[in-house]
Structure 1
Amino acid sequence: MPDLPDSLSTGERIRILRESRGLSRPVLAGLCGRGPDWLKKIENGDRELRSHTLLLRLAAALQVTDLSTITGEADEVAQPVPLGRLNHPAMPEIWAAVMRRSFTPPTADALDASALRARIAQTWRLWHTSGRNRTEVGALLPELIREAEHAAVVLDGDARRTALVALSDVYRLTGQATAYVAPPELAWVVADRALTAAQQADAPEAIAASAWNLGNILRETSYPDEALRVVTEAADLVRPHLDSAPDDWRGVYGALQLHAAVTSARDGREGEAWRYWDAGHQTAKSLPASYVHPSTVFGRANVDFHEVSVATDLRASGRALSVADEIDPDVMPSTERRARLWVEVARGHVQRGDYTAALYVMQRAQKIGAETVAYTPAARSTTAEVWRKAPRALRNEATELAGMVGVATP
Structure 2
Amino acid sequence: MALEGPIGERIRIYRLRRGLSQRELAGLVRRSESWLSQVERGVRSVDKLSVLVDIAKVLRVKVETLSGQPFSLAPNGEPELDGMAAIQTALGAYPGLGVPALRSVQLRDIERMTTEVHLRYQAADYGAATRILPSLITSADGLVAELRGDERRRALELQSSVYVAAAKLVTKVGNGELAWLTADRAATAALHAESPALAAAAAYQVACAFLKNDRLDEAETIAVTTATNLDDDSPTGLSVRGALMLIAAVVAGRRNDRPEATERLQRAQLFADQLGEDGNHGWTAFGPTNVAIHRVSAAAELGDAGEAIAKAEYVDTTSMPQGLLSRRAQVHIDMAWAYCQRRADAEAVVNLLEAERVAPQTLRYNVLVRELLREMLKRERRTATPGLRAIAGRAGVLQA
TM normalised by structure 1 equals 0.84
Q: Deviations over 1:70-107 (max 9, x none)?
A: 3x6x269953232x642111111111111232432657
Alignment pair present for 1:11 and 2:12: yes
Moved more, 46-55 or 154-163: 46-55
Look up the equivalent residue of 1:91 and give its one-letter code.
M
Consecutive unaligned residues in structure 2, runs of 5 or more: none
Alignment of 1:49-88 (within 5 A): 50-52=43-45, 58-62=51-55, 69-70=65-66, 74=68, 79-82=73-76, 85-88=78-81
SS in 2 for 1:408: coil
Look up the equivalent residue of 1:297 and give its one-letter code.
A
Instruction: Tell me which of 333, 342, 350 is aligned to 1:360.
Output: 350
Percent of aligned pairs with the same residue?
23
Task: Report the Cα offset of residue 186 of structure 1.
Answer: 2.3
Counterpart residue number, 1:190: 182
1:356–1:391 CA contact under 8 A, matched in 2 = no
Structure 1 distance, partners of 2:19, 2:105, is 57
Moved more, 330-339 or 87-96: 330-339
Alignment pair present for 1:204 and 2:205: no
Instruction: Tell me which of 377, 394, 404 is aligned to 2:367.
Output: 377
Counterpart residue number, 2:267: 279
C-alpha RMSD of the superposition: 3.2
Alignment pair present for 1:407 and 2:397: yes
Task: Report the Cα offset of residue 288 of structure 1.
Answer: 3.1
Structure 2 distance, partners of 1:18, 1:222, is 24
1:68–1:79 CA contact under 8 A, matched in 2 = no
SS in 1 for 2:387: helix
Q: Deviations over 1:363-388 (max 9, x none)?
A: 11122222212111101111223334
Alignment pair present for 1:97 and 2:90: yes
Q: Deviations over 1:255-308 (max 9, x none)?
A: 001111111011100000010001111110011324233422111211111111
Structure 1 distance, partners of 2:350, 2:27, is 37
Change (3 A) 1:395 1:357: closer
SS in 2 for 1:392: coil
1:214–1:227 CA contact under 8 A, matched in 2 = yes
Alignment pair present for 1:29 and 2:22: no
Consecutive unaligned residues in structure 1, runs of 5 or more: 20-24
Structure 1 distance, partners of 2:10, 2:285, is 40
Look up the equivalent residue of 1:318 and give its one-letter code.
G
Look up the equivalent residue of 1:203 and give its one-letter code.
S
Counterpart residue number, 1:123: 117
Alignment of 1:2-401 (within 5 A): 3-6=1-4, 9-14=10-15, 29-34=27-32, 38=33, 48=41, 50-52=43-45, 58-62=51-55, 69-70=65-66, 74=68, 79-82=73-76, 85-102=78-95, 103-104=97-98, 111-129=105-123, 131=124, 133-179=125-171, 181-238=173-230, 240-242=231-233, 246-332=234-320, 333=322, 334-389=324-379, 391-401=381-391
Change (3 A) 1:293 1:373: farther
Structure 2 distance, partners of 1:212, 1:33, is 22
Change (3 A) 1:252 1:288: same
Structure 2 distance, partners of 1:391, 1:62, is 28
Task: Report the Cα offset of residue 197 of structure 1.
Answer: 1.0
TM normalised by structure 2 equals 0.86
